[in-house]
A and B are shown apart, each in its own frame.
Chain A
Amino acid sequence: MALLDVVDVSGGYGAGLILHGISFTVRQGEAVVILGANGAGKTTTLRAVSGMIDARGEIVFDGRRILGRRPEQVAAAGIAHVPQGRGTILDLTVEDNLRVGAYPRRDRDVDADLADWYEIFPRLGQRRELPAGGLSGGEQQMLAIARALMGRPKLVLLDEPSLGLAPIVTEDLFRTLGTLNAERGVSMLIVEQNVGLALDLADRGYVLETGRIVVEGSADDLAQNEDVQRAYLGV
């Protein structure tokens, strides 16, 4: 059974409809990528899953219907959303940012998880007492990912993680995401402009065009797909 099952979801902002009946799934342990041009509705798709916009249709996560729930309820149910622009809580220290990520948790292992993330991202450990607003873009993206995973979510939504990062930082980031997916079994739903890196990481993918899914398949199939190559890979 799918971890996340999105069925015929339509939605948008106010009166304007952006998504026109999209359906897709993310299975346990999978990394799934959503590709598409600017304005295709990629961010809106993630926002619909998180309950940040009004949507119709059906979204089932981990056996529970989550459509219509508020973002904080969706998060508490186990979906962490790393928003575009990283959502850094600027006035809080790096460590407090991470602790907010653990807010819905009731267990006592938060400190152990903190130490864990400082090991994975040593730069965050070095800057733990500094205001997060002073971090570089790449560090803020690491912080955003670690913060989201501090909640021990079952699924992570990543919205354009490469945005504004230098190519070498982006490659590093995707290597880390690949490790998290492969070794920790973190399920991921990723929206990304850097199609090459995204398809390297992902198991499967969907191509979104003006609010509709037009192609879907395994990451390898998509990488070979002529339309995808022409439109997004510049081949």
Chain B
Amino acid sequence: MENIGLPLVLSFVSSVITGIFSFIVLRRWWEKRRPHHLAWGLGLLFYFVGTLSQVILSFIWSPLFFGLWYWTGALMVAAWLGQGTLYLLIRRGNIARNAQMALVLVSIMTLPWTLFLTKFNEAAWKPGSDMTQLYRDEVDADGNVVREGIMPGKASGTVRFFSPVMNTWGTVLLVGGAIYSAYIFRRKNIMRNRVVGNWLIALGGLLPAMGGALIRLGDPSFKYIAELLGAIFIFWGFWLATNAPEDESPIHVEKAV
């Protein structure tokens, strides 16, 4: 029972909240069949799987849940949330659909790669630990391994190569989408809900990504609060953005110029 602390409780609450949110967003997609609902719903579903895996990994070692924790958290969440924003903001041609196909392809290639072709060092796992501090080897300035992690420190040629690519892609879309919609709103003074919604989604996507920086500030529990707040902001943003009147979509703004 010594594993149960504030970080674990916050992770558990995050997983319950993201589970409920993903269900609501995916149900909205099922009713309305809008692609941005599907992308955001999948982003939240991956968020749920990631936080749930973190809870499970606090108690037991499981290669399956560690693989899912890494695949969802490091590769999928930001990219799929960003994809939802891309659908909402770029309606010209088939750019968003093509980007989604590339994302689906990377997703289904990296899942078996993470689960079956990546070797995990079980000995590095400790009950009740923060996975972000254990997941890879810690190396010094000369490249010597100071502390062994669950995954190798070298990213080149491994599935970890995709992590900066996917996170940069997702974060650029989330933050860029928020800035772009703020610009459109300022020019035309419309779509206030969608602008505020996109800003909240961007903030919600950035908060968990800032987890590493928060740990360096001194208290790892900030990371878990950030994760929880991130989930709440994303859902709040989704709610505002999708309740904007459809006849005020960006494409009409562009045509009106």
Are A and B physically bound partners? Answer: no
Interface residues of chain A, those whose CB is within 8 Å of chain B, are: none
Interface residues of chain B, those whose CB is within 8 Å of chain A, are: none
